[in-house]
Amino acid sequence: MGRVSAMIGGEAGFGIMSSGELLAKCLVHGGLHVYTNIEYPSLIRGGHNAIHVTASDESITSYYPELQCLIALNKETIDLHIKDVVKGGVVVFDAEDAAFASQDVAATYADATKRGVIFLNVPLKKLSEAAGGAITKNTVAVGAMMSFIGYPFHFIQEGLEETFGKKGGDIITMNITAAKSGFDYVATHYADKVVHPVKVHKDAPKRMMISGNQSTALGLIQGGCKFYAAYPMTPATAILQTIIQHGEAYGVVAKQTEDELAAGLMAIGANYAGVRAACGTSGGGFSLMVEGLGLAAIAEVPMVYVDVQRAGPATGLPTWSGQGDLRFLLHASQDEFPRFVIAPGDTKEAFYCAFESMNLAEQFQVPVLLMTDKNLAEHHQTWEPYTTQGLVINRGKLLKSGEAKLDPTYRKFARLEFTADGVSPRTIPGQPGGMHTMASDEQDRFGDITEDPTNRTNRHLKRFAKMAGMAKALPPPKFYTWANGEVVEDKHPETSQVTLVCWGGTKGPAIESLKLLQAAGIKANVLHVIYIWPFPKESLEAMLEKCTHTIMVEANHLGQLEGLIREMLLRGCDARIHKIDGRPFNPIQLYRDVMKIVKANFTDVISIATESYATLEAK
């Protein structure tokens, strides 16, 4: 496998993110699989920004922290990331920058120099000014980086034409000139320092590079969403932005509301009126939406909420990731009512889960809580175009004009009629024969408020009668492994010695770590849970029975999914790995954590793998 990781870092305002995305696009044009990871502080101005791009000639499901090339647009970038640069890797800096003036950079970072890191001066500022102005400094840096990894220049040109195509020929020409100056400078002065010649795959299929938030937004649109309400909140804002960008062509209204409470209530109102609607936010915003969540539940109004998790209670770490909201979403709002809790594991699953959420909400007339996290939502990953063949919108028991009938005695429509499956026929307000009332109080089948104890009991049981059908509508968890450079479903999980159990966005790093575990002589797989509630009791129990040793992987402290498994199945995992620092899992650290557990607890496994493990560690 050929793999290379590079990073561009600098102060906010330097255009770091756009430069990293340009770098990623250039690599995609060469037929490589790409995965990005971005870091930025919760500051309006200033602070350190960095984008990490990992490219591989085979499928990749996570970024790798090890760096072959680091472009440092300021000194802080070196201070923060020098530890990640590998032996033989290069650090590119501009010696004319004031931060590096009058110092020997290689001597300043002597420990890195001793372990084989190479510091190279490239006059980024001077080259950018010659190419058209300081604004092109990042483009010069991208050109230099591509030269360092041995990448043909014409792919950079294609990436620039795609990025700046709408801005006109002069802008494109200026940036191509800037990139070429950085590329040629490295080729002329440091030709012997190419760190990892990347193989170009001319016959690779066309791939798109897409983020989890973009996928979620497009999945909602594909699912027939016609109204999306949100108040901007990191890291969910890009869902709103993507729907604003693309929704008009599909008849979608996007509304930026005054706060999250309004966003949730507006979406409920739209759904009640027969318009497929959703809202999105992060954990703090969802806290404000909870009162409306109960309203949607008791009125049996279809509703889709998207929660893009971030770390910490209150404001916490607004721009960092976590998986601390699971228990919150499982129990949000007072009392009890049925709901779906769905946690896609990658950007592609985010698209299909968002689509299916729109269907499930209307089929069962319940809230659907779709969970992602900052890392999943904001990283970009390459995929072949998603297929939409076979995706059918199912509006459940929504009656067509003329189908609704008034009760002959009460002259009202029984909107909350008792049915065997708990799901009642539904009308659009104003529809002939569909006249009824609706309230946030407990009500009878016509929507009239009543506190009758028998009615209360029957209404509660009626809502929970949906659970059987909801559970049957969901596919079971899946086992994954690697085969021939691709992620595949593991059809023989009982042959694995170690199973990593995970949910949501930990899927990618967990699957990527299998490459290292297999190289260490350990046969491992991943058991991933997307559909968390209704809980997949029978299927998950049967799947866990096939596992030899299990390790739970979660980005929270309490082990929220494992706790739910213990509650529902009276069993947990054999070991666990938790991460609470806001940073995403990466396959190298995850591999090391798994190996510590294996060596300490699973002696039957490590005795088989000792020789391969020693060889891998020596590398």
Confidence of residue 46 (pLDDT cuts 50, 70, 90): confident
Residue 619's pLDDT band, with cuts at 50, 70 and 90, is low
**CA 270 to CA 462: how far, in whole Å?**
24
For residue 567, name the pLDDT band (cuts at 50, 70, 90). Answer: very high
Looking at 348-352, 372-376, 387-391, 482-486, which range is the least confident one?
A: 482-486
Listing DSSP states for 344-384 in one string gives --SHHHHHHHHHHHHHHHHHHTSEEEEEEEHHHHH-EEEEP
Q: What CATH fold (topology level) applies to the domain 3-193?
A: Pyruvate-ferredoxin Oxidoreductase; domain 3 (3.40.920)
User: Hey, what's the torsion of the CAs at 238, 242, 243, 244, to 10 degrees?
Assistant: 100
CA dihedral 232, 237, 242, 245 (to 10 degrees): 30
- Reported as a pLDDT band with limits 50, 70 and 90, residue 530 is very high
Q: Residue 606: what pLDDT? A: 65
Tell me, what DSSP letter sits at residue 425? P
Q: Per-residue pLDDT averaged across 223-241, rounded?
A: 97
CB 548, CB 497: distance < 8 Å = yes
Give me the residue spans of the domains in the chain. Answer: 3-193, 210-383, 478-618
pLDDT digits (tens, 9 = 90+) for 174-183: 889 999 999 9
Residue 411 CB neighbours (<10 A): 9
Query: Residue 420 has what DSSP assignment?
Result: T
Residue, of 149 and 308, whose pLDDT is higher: 308
Q: What is the pLDDT of residue 549?
A: 97
CATH number of 478-618: 3.40.50.920
Torsion of CA 288, 290, 291, 292, to 10 degrees: 100
CA distance 462 to 443: 12
How much is the average pLDDT of 377-390?
96
Average pLDDT over residues 522-536: 97
pTM, 2 dp: 0.95
Beta bridge partners of 373: 309
Of 502 and 102, the structure prediction assigns the larger pLDDT to: 502
Give pLDDT, residue 193: 84
User: How distant is the alpha carbon of residue 333 from its chain centre?
Assistant: 25
C-alpha separations of 423 from 434, 456, 559 in Å: 16, 17, 34
Q: What does the alpha-carbon distance between residue 392 and residue 222 come to, in Å, rounded to a whole number?
A: 9
DSSP string, 136-205: GHHHHHHHHHHHHTT--HHHHHHHHHHHHGGG-HHHHHHHHHHHHHHHHHHHHH-GGG---PPPP-TTPP
Mean pLDDT, residues 253-276: 97
Q: Note whether 3-193 and 210-383 share their fold.
A: no
Cβ atoms of residues 74 and 92 within 8 Å: no
- Alpha helix locations (H) across 449-528? 453-464, 466-472, 507-519
Question: Residue range 460-487: average pLDDT?
Answer: 95
Single out the residue of 119, 159, 169, 197 nearest to residue 20, CA to CA: 159
Backbone angles phi, psi at 394, to 5 degrees: -120, 110
Q: Identify the pLDDT of residue 297.
A: 97
d(CA 350, CA 356): 10
Pull the structure tokens for residue 107: 């001597």
We find that the CATH architecture of domain 210-383 is: 3-Layer(aba) Sandwich (3.40)
